[in-house]
Structure 1
Amino acid sequence: MADDPDPGYFGPRSVTWQVHSDPMMWIAGIRALYLQALHPRAVRAVMQNSDFRKDAWGRLLRTADFVGTLSYGTKDAAEQAGARVRRIHALLTADDPRTGERFGIDDPELLLWVHCAEIDSYLTVARRSGLWMSEDQADRYVAEHRVDARLVGLDEAKVPASVAGLAAYFDAVRPQLAATEDARTVDDFLRRPPTPALLVPARALVWRRVARLAYASLPPYAHELYGRPAPAANTVDRRLTRTGTALRRIPARVRWQLPPRHILRAIDRLGPETRPAPHTLREGTAILGGPQRTHGQ
């Protein structure tokens, strides 16, 4: 281990360090896709610039790699990952589905929507599935991720820094949301992704249940837009808690062996005492530190 290892932009005392080690983040990521698809411009950008229907698993793994790099990688690795995203976005455009206007993928409005949908999904699924955190820690989590926003090209000062700020953002953007044809394509894809014949039974047994749970955890207005009745909140909470309890029983070292393995690399870099332990949120120790900053940020 290096004499002065780089903890990255969050570090072991942050809320993010604990939350992003939780296995329910995979379900939260699928929820984020459902939510993101309700912004007509954002989903059009994906449809016109992505081969997600042919490379769904690759896209999910690349997203997981990006989130893992920002959460557990070094500052340099996070900066490089953000720079790659900014370079790609700067080159891409799409057509507005309503006006036909050509717009850039690096439009701050779109970047902010994607960011907020992700952070809201991670926080919502974690808390509703039984991962305890205080209100202050929830606010801290939202504020920590202004780092992510900066790395993809947003002005941190314009990004929600609390749970209340996040809620106010969604209230403001809701009139722009709609279940367009593109959104329904994403919805259909997530419910029935193309699968080799031999894996169709597994899709029915595992994936469909995961996708249904992710969809069920959406806010009521999202269910209304998609045109399917929202399940009772307490029923969804019970399902999320049962699933979270079952997944958390899998030993962390087994779970963390799955790609992209950023957590294990962070532990190797920083030492075994930095091993993520979400129970420290209840003890209050995870809020004493915070995102690691560099000079001038």
Structure 2
Amino acid sequence: MLMPHQLVEQSLQSHFDRNVRQHYFRGMEFAGPAGDPGWFGPGSAVWHVHSHTEALIFGLQCAAYIERLDPSIYWMGMHHSRLVKRDEDGTAIPVIDPEGAAVRLGHSIAFFIGTAYGSTETAERVSKTVRAMHHTIKGTRPDGAAYDADDPAWLRWNYATVVWGLATAHEIYHPNPLRGKKLDQYYGEFVRVGHALGGTDLPSTKAETLDCLHSYLPKLALTHGAAMATGSNLSMPQSAVDWAIRDTMPKWAKQLIGHNDPNPIERRARRAVVWSIINGLHTAAGDTLEFRQARARVTGGTTVSHTEPAYVPGSDPELSRDEVEHSFA
């Protein structure tokens, strides 16, 4: 007979299997070949960050939000994505299509789990697939400005939005977050993904990434469609999730979207609620099947509790086991 917490875990895992894994993980290999560490392997900062699926998903939402501040990305989505609804003639309407949003999220989750934990062949293949898709995203905005997903400067900024979103969600909402040089290790490792997608001269530290994001400010704007999908234009419960995302934005981005932080006590209380939800879901669901398979693939079946952070290369080799564990707090 299953205990209550086991029933919850089984339900959440079944939901993920039905709605994500069965549709978006096809052809990905996590269980083999034996000994293949993939692109990163256990002990990497990427494994530690991406093992918390719920924080990873939240980070993707943060990245998507700051991306939309680039009118070119907004119109790329309008012209080429299933994310928005369309009228009978196929013309995009600036209203989120829930089904299309679920598809986009499913593909994103599969990509960032596949490149993190998949076999070397899997990571390379899914990256080539996404890069090939980017080659087709070219067009013209209503104001006459051209956009091209292969533009090196745009690729650099777009890469920065993604790695920043994932790392920032990790910093705020992971129970054992990397900080300082350990977090910079994540930024440095993740560059491999950016290069595989065609990026060049990519930022490899938190400071470089923030500088890259800020450098694009003259090109950013709050489009009407993006404005209608945030702030006071939303009702509960969407507005609560929207607040948590806006709360992560850099100061200049908050100024652009007209977001004001509440007083420190209220902000801390709100974050505590979000932290409890994200980590409550993660504790209830447990590690993903892909993470467990990858761990067994590399370690020959040896498992590591997800509450026990892996040692990150580059840390002091003389640290004791207890010091290593507390160094992630």
Q: Tell me if structure 1 keeps the 8 A contact 2:33–2:297.
A: no
1:165 paired to 2:196 = no
1:31/1:184 Cα in 2 relative to 1: closer, same or farther (>3 Å)?
Answer: same
Of stretches 115-124 and 60-69 in structure 1, the one that deviates more from structure 2 is 115-124
The size of the alignment, in residue pairs, is 267
Residue correspondence of structure 1 range 85-124 to structure 2 within 5 A: 85-98=130-143, 100-124=144-168
Q: Tell me if structure 1 keeps the 8 A contact 2:115–2:193.
A: yes
Q: What residue is the counterpart of 1:176 in the other structure?
A: 219
1:6 paired to 2:36 = yes
Q: Tell me if structure 1 keeps the 8 A contact 2:42–2:295.
A: no
SS of 1:229's equivalent in the other structure is coil
SS of 2:216's equivalent in the other structure is helix
Residue among 39, 42, 47 paired with 2:78: 47
Q: What residue is the counterpart of 1:218 in the other structure?
A: 249
1:131/1:63 Cα in 2 relative to 1: closer, same or farther (>3 Å)?
Answer: same
TM-score (normalised: structure 2): 0.72
Higher CA-based Rg? 2
Q: Deviations over 1:113-161 (max 9, x none)?
A: 2221111112112212353323111110111111111111112xx0011
Aligned residue type for 1:224: Q
Q: What residue is the counterpart of 2:199 in the other structure?
A: 154
1:273 paired to 2:302 = yes
Q: CA-atom RMSD, angstroms?
A: 2.8
SS of 1:94's equivalent in the other structure is strand
Q: What residue is the counterpart of 1:248 in the other structure?
A: 279
How far apart in 2 are the matches of 1:246 and 1:187?
A: 21
1:125/1:239 Cα in 2 relative to 1: closer, same or farther (>3 Å)?
Answer: farther
Q: What residue is the counterpart of 2:312 in the other structure?
A: 286
Of stretches 128-137 and 165-174 in structure 1, the one that deviates more from structure 2 is 128-137
Q: Tell me if structure 2 keeps the 8 A contact 1:217–1:236.
A: no
SS of 2:261's equivalent in the other structure is coil
* Higher RCO structure, 1 or 2 (CA under 8 Å, sep 6+): 1
- Which sections of structure 2, spanning at least 5 residues, go unmatched? 1-30, 85-96, 316-329
How far apart in 2 are the matches of 1:227 and 1:251?
A: 32
1:208/1:57 Cα in 2 relative to 1: closer, same or farther (>3 Å)?
Answer: farther
Residue correspondence of structure 1 range 73-84 to structure 2 within 5 A: 73-84=118-129
Q: What residue is the counterpart of 1:198 in the other structure?
A: none
Aligned residue type for 1:287: P
Q: What residue is the counterpart of 1:71 in the other structure?
A: 116
Q: Tell me if structure 1 keeps the 8 A contact 2:292–2:303.
A: no
Q: Deviations over 1:58-116 (max 9, x none)?
A: 11111111111111111111111111111111122121354x13332222222222221
Aligned residue type for 1:273: T
Aligned residue type for 1:266: A
Q: What residue is the counterpart of 1:201 in the other structure?
A: none
How far apart in 2 are the matches of 1:230 and 1:251?
A: 27
Aligned residue type for 1:6: D
Residue correspondence of structure 1 range 121-132 to structure 2 within 5 A: 121-129=165-173, 130-132=175-177
How far apart in 1 are the matches of 2:77 and 2:164?
A: 20
Q: What residue is the counterpart of 1:16 in the other structure?
A: 46
SS of 2:302's equivalent in the other structure is helix
SS of 2:123's equivalent in the other structure is helix
TM-score (normalised: structure 1): 0.79
